[in-house]
Homo-oligomer: A and B are copies of this chain.
Amino acid sequence: MPNPTAAMLVIGDEILSGRTRDANMHFLAQELTKHGIDLKEVRIVSDEAATIETAVQALSQSHDHVFTSGGIGPTHDDITADCIARAFGAAIDVRADARALLEAHYDKSGLELNAARLRMARIPDGAALIDNPVSTAPGFTLGNVHVMAGVPLVFQAMVASVLPGLTGGQPLLSQTLRVDRGEGDIASTLSNLAEDFSDLSIGCYPFQVNGVFGANVVVRGTEGARIDAAMTRLAKELEL
């Protein structure tokens, strides 16, 4: 059985403008790979309601899971929760369970649960809350969409809350061989290898260090013994 597939939707004017560099995508990619869920696509879109709605609908239909990051805080530019609700035709309002979490949190911290903060309790009907052990304000899962915060520490905590509940497949294993030759020298060897090991994914990723070109050959699959066999043959053929 093939592994479940996933897409990620990053709501991120900040990333598109080049002001900040996304950190959540790389983290999620690594966690999903370990869990046996294949991340097939990432989209980074701007903070525009129609854009977010269209993207989440498309990704939700074409993948088993969608993970979103960003736009669920208390400020005027936090529009993700409402967009997800509209994308699924679900009603959304301040929900008692989420409100109770925030009340307990702000009571303890002595801060006011004002109107802005209460926006973080806006949860679509039918959604399940995602635990946020860092700063309390919850994420939520609606259908196959997991809606999480953009702040990396909170995003990571929410991923840790969500992943154990999802059925994973076989973790993708990989081995890497660094070759200090240009890709063009090893291309035919790799091509033959890819044909003979068609159950594996064989990628070649060139690099350049101090003007010298080399390549990392990465062999990926779910069976360790097959990867070992491919790597052994590769090393032998390249006389490494």
Contacts of A116 in B (CB 8 A): 183-184, 187-188, 191
B43 and A174 contacting across the interface, CB-CB below 8 Å: no
Choose among B30, B45, B74 the residue that contacts A18 (Cβ–Cβ < 8 A).
B30
Nearest-neighbor residue (CB-CB) of A31 within chain B: B18
Q: Let me know if A41 and B44 touch, CB within 8 A.
A: yes
Binds B, one of A92-100, A201-209, A223-231, A232-240: A201-209
Q: Is A142 an interface residue (CB 8 A)?
A: no
Copies in the complex: 2
**Residue A75 is within 8 A (CB to CB) of chain B in the complex:** yes
Q: How many residues of A contact B (CB 8 A)?
A: 72
B208 in contact with A17 (CB, 8 Å) = no
Decide yes or no whether A61 CB sits under 8 A from chain B: no
Q: Which residues of B contact A163 (CB under 8 A)?
A: none
Known contacts A75-B191, A207-B151: does B18 contact A42 (CB below 8 Å)?
no
- A47 adjacent to chain B (CB < 8 Å): yes
**Beyond A14-B218, A43-B43, A75-B191, 18 additional pairs, beta carbon < 8 A:** A16-B39, A17-B220, A18-B29, A19-B174, A41-B51, A43-B44, A73-B204, A75-B186, A75-B190, A76-B191, A77-B203, A77-B204, A114-B184, A116-B183, A120-B184, A150-B205, A151-B207, A153-B208
